[in-house]
Amino acid sequence: ETVLTQSPATLSLSPGERAALSCRVSDNVRSYLAWYQQKPGQAPRLLIYDASNRATGIPARFSGSGSGTDFTLTISSLEPEDFAVYYCQQRRNWPLTFGGGTKVEIK
């Protein structure tokens, strides 16, 4: 199966800072990668699909980039509500697979 490795596991930042989250994929998935945000006690929320397209209602401070095996989710300036866990997911190959997650915590 296609393995997604997210780094770092935890990112400690202050509000207003820029966050860059990495997702490395074991196979070439072209641009078929999404990012989700999950807050404690809540269901995940789709942020980015097909590597760089923002989902409906997602603020412009969230952006995605990359293709092939290396992808990045960037949050340009962290808002208090952005502290959460972020997951990547590929749809290029079955089974669908998620990364292990990156927790963005308040420094």
Partner 1 sequence: EVQLLESGGALVQRGGSLKLACAASGFSFINYAMGWVRQAPGKGLEWVSAISASYHVTYYADSVKGRFTISRDDSKDMLYMQMNSLGVEDTARYYCAKVRATSEWYFDYWGQGTLVTVSS
42-to-25, 39, 83 alpha-carbon distances in Å: 26, 5, 13
Cβ pair 57, 69 in contact under 8 A: no
Residue among 96, 105, 106, 107 that touches partner 1 (CB under 8 A): 96
Beta bridge partners of 46: 36
SS3 at position 82: helix
98 binds partner 1 (CB under 8 A): yes
- The answer to whether residue 91 forms part of the interface with partner 1 (CB under 8 A) is yes
| Site stretch for partner 1 (CB under 8 A), options 18-26, 61-69, 72-80, 93-101 | 93-101
Q: Which two tokens stand for residue 86?
A: 């972020």
- Alpha-carbon span 10 to 65, nearest angstrom: 20
Closest contact distance (angstroms) between CB of 34 and partner 1 is: 4
Pick 14 or 56: Cβ nearer partner 1? 56
Site residues for partner 1, 42-81, by CB under 8 A, read 42-46, 49-50, 55-56
Beta pairing partners, 38: 85
**Binding region for partner 1 (CB under 8 A):** 1, 34, 36, 38, 42-46, 49-50, 55-56, 87, 89, 91, 94-101
